Copies of this chain bind each other. A is one copy, B any other.
Amino acid sequence: MAKAKKTKKQVAQKAHSIVHGKDHDGAIRRTLIVEVEKLQGLKNPVLIEGLPGIGFVGKLAAEYMVETLKARKVAEIYSHHFPHQVLMEKDGTLKMLKNEIHLYKDPKKKRDLLLLIGDVQPASPEAQYEVINCILDYMSTNGINDVITLGGYSTGKMTEKPKVFAAVSDVSEIKNYKNIGVVFGETEGSIIGAAGLLIGLGKMRGVKGVCFMGETHGSYIDHRAAQRMIEILSKLLGLKIDTSKLTEKAKESEKIIRKIEEETNKAKQAMQPSEPVRPSELTYIR
């Protein structure tokens, strides 16, 4: 497979777009990256993905990093493939579901970080391919050729000291990660969604990638796995991140999610036994 070069023709037309906020009419008809700020003068940049997934390990870690490192939002990602919902915020406003890219400019000018976080991942293959390709186009446009994806590896067991497992796009990369305590060869199966596709589709376009997977039970929001993930990333990227508030934050998240869960169940119960039937559900003949 040839590496991505600008001169090579695109095989299929892109269904998505990247547009700067001030040039955009605001309509979200397809998948769309809306730039808040043009990226400029990046130093050896790497994109770190932490979208929702098993144990919320990646999301917790990446969002904590965004906050702690005071990264600033440079882009928003919208898609007609995201669930047709809006979130009720505490302040009484409504918020579109979206993903975001935040920039952390390395003060040592060694390696700038782009952090991809968000509310959701799309649910179908076609939607995932579209959104991931859109992100890879954004990376390509901005000269970002490295990606680190964060996820959870579900074991069904609680563990005191969770490991961080990994898988890479290129076998020669393994040595770079082993010496920071990342574990290879103890995972099997497949990686679903952005954490996998960013590596897989990225590799074909010349992007080098590693997926870090925090060992986790799978049924719980796991701040401990997220903490361990941040430690590994700090070692890798030469960052100093105080993870002490993560425990607290994770507990808070857990409380909210539990609450939401209860109410969702209540809502489900309320809606199922004798839900008002819409005319559209009648099916006498066909």
Contact = CB atoms under 8 A, between A and B. Distances in A.
A96 B203 CA distance: 9
Given A15-B29, A26-B206, A285-B152, A211 B84 contact: no
A184 B89 CA distance: 11
A94 B168 contact: yes
A125 B82 contact: yes
Contacts of A125: 80-84
Interface stretch (A5-13, A107-115, A227-235): A5-13
A218 B34 CA distance: 37
A34 B195 contact: no
Interface stretch (A39-47, A52-60, A236-244): A52-60
Nearest to A205: B26
A180 interface: no
Interface string A209-226: 101010001111100000
Number of copies: 4
A22 B8 CA distance: 9
Nearest to A283: B192
A101 interface: no
Contacts of A199: 86, 94
A283 B8 contact: no
Contacts of A129: 28-29, 80, 84
Given A12-B32, A93-B167, A191-B285, 5 more contacts: A4-B26, A28-B201, A29-B130, A219-B270, A267-B283
